[in-house]
């Protein structure tokens, strides 16, 4: 039977206890800020103008999401594929959600809030890597901030090296592109050229 309202949902799963319900803060503090400072990877969720949703990965050396104050974060925008899904979404709808991960740590950290784009060169200079500052950044006004328990990581055994999958066991990006958009694509050449660009650090910053 389909569950169609919260009454049915709560009948199935119950209510959160008072301690869990009270864990959501509207700002960072001296304890929770450490999850942002130690994280090299964050998933960014935004809403599309057509009503769809988008989740995009972002990664850099730990602490790349800068804490400007207890209620403001700055996420630098590095070079990408220029589809700019996250950026165009923010222009239409400022709602944003961040999920911070720290390798080897089961607890994750969630931030929900409102986003805006900035091209303030002075502000973005603090996010420079290899002498290259980002052209744009996403400012996030924190509305909700809280830790997420480790159950998902325990169940998935995500950080266990013995469970890591060899990349060669999966289709390459080039093979996927050829199947979807370009039947004439030389997959081997595409993968070779991309690997060389990555090895040189080209296009990363």
96 and 138 inside one domain: yes
Residues 93 and 175 in one domain: no
CATH number of the domain enclosing 108? 2.30.110.10
For residues 144 and 125, membership in a common domain is answered with yes
Please give the average per-residue pLDDT across 131-145, as a whole number.
97
The total domain count for the chain is 2
Evaluate whether residue 3 is within a structural domain: no
Please enumerate in sequence order all residues whose Cβ is within 8 A of that of 180, keeping only pairs 6 or more positions apart, or say none: none
Residues 173 and 152 in one domain: no
Has residue 181 been placed in a domain? Answer: yes
For all residues of the chain together, what is the average pLDDT?
A: 95
At residue 86, the pLDDT reads 97
Q: Which domain holds residue 37?
A: 19-156
* Res 1: pLDDT: 85
Identify the pLDDT of residue 16.
Answer: 86
Pair 175, 196 in one domain: yes
The model's pLDDT over 56-68, given as tens digits with 9 standing for 90+, comes to 999 999 999 999 9
Please tell me what DSSP assigns to residue 143: E
Residues 86-121 have pLDDT tens digits of 999 999 999 999 999 999 999 999 999 999 999 999
Q: Are residues 51 and 148 in the same domain?
A: yes
Q: Is residue 205 part of a domain?
A: no
136 and 36 in one domain? Answer: yes
Rg for the chain, CA atoms, rounded: 20
Which one, of 198, 83, 96, 193, lies nearest residue 138 by Cα?
Answer: 96
In angstroms, the Cα distances linking 11 to 1, 3, 7, 22, 81 are 13, 10, 6, 21, 45
Note whether residue 6 is domain-resident: no
Is the pLDDT score of 18 beyond 90?
A: no
45 occurs within a structural domain = yes
Please report which confidence band the pLDDT of residue 169 belongs to, taking 50, 70 and 90 as the band edges. Answer: very high
Q: Is the pLDDT of residue 80 over 90?
A: no
In a domain, 13, yes or no: no
Both 73 and 170 in one domain: the answer is no
* 8-state DSSP, 73: E
Residue 1 lies in a domain: no
Residue 187 has pLDDT above 90, yes or no: yes
In contact, 146 and 154? CB cutoff 8 Å:
no
Pair 193, 134 in one domain: no
| Whether residue 80 sits in one domain with residue 51 | yes
């Amino acid at each position: 039977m389909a569950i169609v309202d919260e009454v049915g949902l709560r009948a199935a799963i119950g209510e959160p206890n008072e301690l869990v319900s009270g864990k959501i803060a509207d700002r960072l503090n001296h304890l929770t800020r450490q999850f942002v400072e130690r994280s090299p990877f964050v998933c960014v969720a935004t809403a599309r103008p057509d009503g769809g949703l988008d989740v995009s990965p972002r990664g850099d050396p730990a602490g790349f999401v800068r804490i400007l104050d207890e209620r403001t974060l700055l996420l630098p925008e590095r070079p990408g594929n220029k589809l700019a899904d996250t950026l165009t979404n923010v222009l239409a709808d400022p709602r944003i959600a961040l999920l911070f991960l720290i390798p080897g740590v089961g607890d994750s950290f969630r931030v929900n809030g409102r986003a805006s784009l900035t091209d303030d060169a002075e502000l973005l200079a603090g996010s420079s890597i290899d002498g290259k500052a980002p052209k744009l950044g996403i400012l996030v006004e924190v509305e909700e901030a809280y830790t997420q328990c480790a159950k998902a990581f325990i169940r998935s055994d995500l950080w266990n090296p013995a469970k890591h999958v060899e990349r060669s066991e999966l289709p390459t990006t080039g093979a996927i592109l050829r199947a979807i958009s370009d039947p004439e694509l030389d997959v081997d050449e595409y993968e070779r050229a991309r690997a060389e660009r990555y090895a040189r650090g080209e296009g990363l910053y």
